[in-house]
Structure 1
Amino acid sequence: MTALTKYDRLEAIGLWRPDPDGQRREVIVSIGNATLVIADKNDQAITHWSLAAVARANPGVIPAVYHPDGDEGETLELPEHEGEMVSAIESLRTAISKSRPRPGRLRWLGISLSIAAVAAVMLLWLPSAMRDNTLRVVPQVKRETLGVALIERMQRVTGPMCNDAAGLRALRRFGARLETLKLAVVPALGRPALHLPGGVIVLDRSVLEDWDEPDVAAGYILSELATQVERDPLADLLDVVGPWENFRLLTTGEISDKALDDYAEHLMTTPVRAPDTANLLALFEASDVPATPFARAYDITGESTLDLIEGDPMKGRVTEPLLPDSTWLRLQNLCGG
């Protein structure tokens, strides 16, 4: 749209509120490629609003209040001194409105056929295309926010995250050793480990408490890392919650509470998907972690994990302990022993 180039360097300060009960926060507003970009003071994008779906709650009144079309709970308020931005938004809304087709009465049949064709495209092509676009534009900070929100919902079943102070220090050290800093441990996950959007990996306490050495826990962490490399966790979330929630995330930066609840339940009830063996062995080698302890813990008979045992890159090599004994003991007491 030619009109966009006129405003591509325009910025304003506004007050953004995510929902009717949320606290208003000061944000930086700018006009992006067909979107209204709302960012924090560190220039990290909070959400993107499609310019074609921006509605004004109080036409002709200052301060101007905008919201995504169909969601009046999320608002953006622009004060009087940001009149240039208000004028820009209104100009773009007018241009978009004028560009929309206004068919005459004699074209209803053609329109009906077009709608049918568009509907077919939307059903067959648009969901996957919209998902791929969402995966490209959703920033890391939003992915981490979704991961944290999912942990909060899972805690209703798993119990609260283990938070012994000394144990948490040991957990951070363990994560640093494996180059994955977003680790959490819960009392009753119902499975050894799972990964969430934003790179968050959640462990069941048994992974730490049931083994004498940290190699097994490290193996479960590396297995989750390999799985999330093979398939973006956010892609899995979007496939489960469906196209409408995908559209909601793309246009407002949010996913409904119910959709997050449903996905949290899905995560905890879906069978574990094993990663590709070659990819997993490469991670074991890169981290100097033996694969055999994890393989034996996963299957005590070794039948289903024979490739990991035979391909163990640390076989016959002397490796340094992953953690000092004192640190490992503190980690094992993370959930209170």
Structure 2
Amino acid sequence: MTALRKYARLETTGLWRPVPDAQRREVVVSFGDSSLVLTDGRSQMPLSHWSLPAVQRRNPGELPAIYAPGADPMAETVEIDDTGMIDAIETVRAALARRRPKRGRGRLTVVLGTIGAIVLGALLWLPGAVVGHTTRIVPFVKREQIGRELLVEMTRFTGAPCADPQGLAVLGRLSARLFGAEGAQIVVLRDGLAPGTTAHVPGRHLLVDHQLIELPDGPEVLAGHLIAEKLRTDLGDPLAEVLHAAGIRANFTLLATGSLPSGVLGRQAQARLQDAPTDLPPDELLERFKAARIASTPYALSVDPSGVTTRALIEGDPIPPGAAKPLMPDADWLALQAICAR
């Protein structure tokens, strides 16, 4: 549209309220593709996108002009005192109003069909786009905080994580041995997880069912499950999993305030504990075992004692039979097995 292209590079500052009783916040107001874009002036983080056809002025003829993305009295608002920007918004709104179809049954049908297609497209595309954008800009410190908060919510179903100091020290050494300097935070749970399984939450937290450290054959099976779970976190962003389940409104809240709405993580806690582990590509899993210098056969047989479904991991074991070196001293393994004693 000519009017919109004319003002494509125009921007100004305004005072934004996400809800009527919230404190005003300075934002940058600019034109997007058929939308009005509100951006945090300091972080350059997009805060809101308003459809230009829906934008309404709350106080015609008064300054500063107050705009909202619709007629809802509880909707967000922005105050603008830049007369150039006000004139531009009014010009574009008037141009859009002239383009609206006149009354008529045939045209109404076309309009409704178009709106339905747009809404359907938005429902299919927008959640994924918002989650993708959010996961790209959330820093690791915030990911770690969300992971810790989710772990706290999970304790309602798991009890407190196992925390014997000597066992925790062994877990730290095991993490460094398997994953290097970046490592992972390994958390042993007494209850909540399916027996002999693992899970994960954002911030490099790997969750382990206590039965995996009570095996009589040594720590290789535990190591294999940890390698597999770490691969799952690398193939699918753990934060994206949380945000998809949280919904689009929670994503916008995280973008605007830096925190998820109250109750979002609590509603996910039990479901995430009960999720079945996703299958992994055998070739990629074998590469991880090879990099960690760990035999894959003990893990494969713990997943399927018959070896039928895990044959590729057995036949492709990077460590020849009898050539595996001890993963840790016997004293460390005994200390780790006592991690839930307290």
TM-score (norm 2): 0.69
Residues in 2 aligned to 1:38 and 1:154: alpha-carbon distance in whole angstroms: 35
Identify the residue that residue 182 of structure 1 maps to in structure 2: 185
Deviation at 1:120? 3.8
Check whether the contact 1:292–1:308 (CA below 8 A) recurs between aligned residues: yes
Residues in 2 aligned to 1:163 and 1:38: alpha-carbon distance in whole angstroms: 41
Deviation at 1:260? 1.1
1:103-133 per-residue CA deviation (whole Å, 9 max, x = no partner) reads 48666548x9486665344223222221221
Matches within 5 A, 1:1-337: 35-36=39-40, 50=47, 99=89, 102-103=93-94, 109=101, 113=111, 118-179=118-179, 180-191=183-194, 192-316=197-321, 318-336=323-341
Residues in 2 aligned to 1:263 and 1:247: alpha-carbon distance in whole angstroms: 18
Taking a change above 3 Å as real, the CA distance of residues 97 and 35 of structure 1, as seen in their structure-2 partners, is farther
Secondary structure, in 3 states, of the residue corresponding to 2:136?
Answer: helix
Identify the residue that residue 22 of structure 1 maps to in structure 2: none
Residues in 2 aligned to 1:71 and 1:174: alpha-carbon distance in whole angstroms: 52
Deviation at 1:319? 3.2
Secondary structure, in 3 states, of the residue corresponding to 1:194?
Answer: strand
Check whether the contact 2:286–2:318 (CA below 8 A) recurs between aligned residues: yes
Taking a change above 3 Å as real, the CA distance of residues 228 and 210 of structure 1, as seen in their structure-2 partners, is same
Identify the residue that residue 64 of structure 1 maps to in structure 2: none
1:276-329 per-residue CA deviation (whole Å, 9 max, x = no partner) reads 111111100000011111111122222221111111111246233211111111
Aligned-partner residue type, residue 274 of structure 1: D
Mean CA deviation greater in 313-322 or 207-216: 313-322
Check whether the contact 2:157–2:270 (CA below 8 A) recurs between aligned residues: no
Aligned-partner residue type, residue 166 of structure 1: Q
- Structure 1 residue ranges without an equivalent (≥5): 8-28, 40-46, 54-69, 73-88
Mean CA deviation greater in 179-188 or 200-209: 179-188
Secondary structure, in 3 states, of the residue corresponding to 2:263?
Answer: helix
Aligned-partner residue type, residue 310 of structure 1: E
1:206-256 per-residue CA deviation (whole Å, 9 max, x = no partner) reads 111123311011011001011122211222222222222222223322222
Residues in 1 aligned to 2:338 and 2:86: alpha-carbon distance in whole angstroms: 60
Taking a change above 3 Å as real, the CA distance of residues 217 and 124 of structure 1, as seen in their structure-2 partners, is same
Residues in 1 aligned to 2:81 and 2:303: alpha-carbon distance in whole angstroms: 61
Identify the residue that residue 105 of structure 2 maps to in structure 1: none
Aligned-partner residue type, residue 151 of structure 1: L
Taking a change above 3 Å as real, the CA distance of residues 158 and 121 of structure 1, as seen in their structure-2 partners, is same
Identify the residue that residue 60 of structure 2 maps to in structure 1: none
Secondary structure, in 3 states, of the residue corresponding to 2:280?
Answer: coil
Residues in 1 aligned to 2:135 and 2:162: alpha-carbon distance in whole angstroms: 31
Taking a change above 3 Å as real, the CA distance of residues 71 and 99 of structure 1, as seen in their structure-2 partners, is closer
Residues in 2 aligned to 1:37 and 1:220: alpha-carbon distance in whole angstroms: 45
Aligned-partner residue type, residue 47 of structure 2: S
Residues in 2 aligned to 1:106 and 1:193: alpha-carbon distance in whole angstroms: 59
Residues in 1 aligned to 2:87 and 2:176: alpha-carbon distance in whole angstroms: 52
Check whether the contact 2:300–2:313 (CA below 8 A) recurs between aligned residues: yes
Between the two proteins, the alignment pairs up a number of residues equal to: 279
Secondary structure, in 3 states, of the residue corresponding to 2:143?
Answer: helix
Q: CA RMSD in A?
A: 3.7
Residues in 2 aligned to 1:313 and 1:122: alpha-carbon distance in whole angstroms: 47
Check whether the contact 1:48–1:253 (CA below 8 A) recurs between aligned residues: no
Mean CA deviation greater in 262-271 or 249-258: 249-258
TM-score (norm 1): 0.70
Residues in 2 aligned to 1:290 and 1:96: alpha-carbon distance in whole angstroms: 68
Aligned-partner residue type, residue 289 of structure 1: I
Secondary structure, in 3 states, of the residue corresponding to 1:125?
Answer: helix
- Structure 2 residue ranges without an equivalent (≥5): 1-7, 14-25, 29-36, 51-73, 103-107
Taking a change above 3 Å as real, the CA distance of residues 286 and 98 of structure 1, as seen in their structure-2 partners, is same
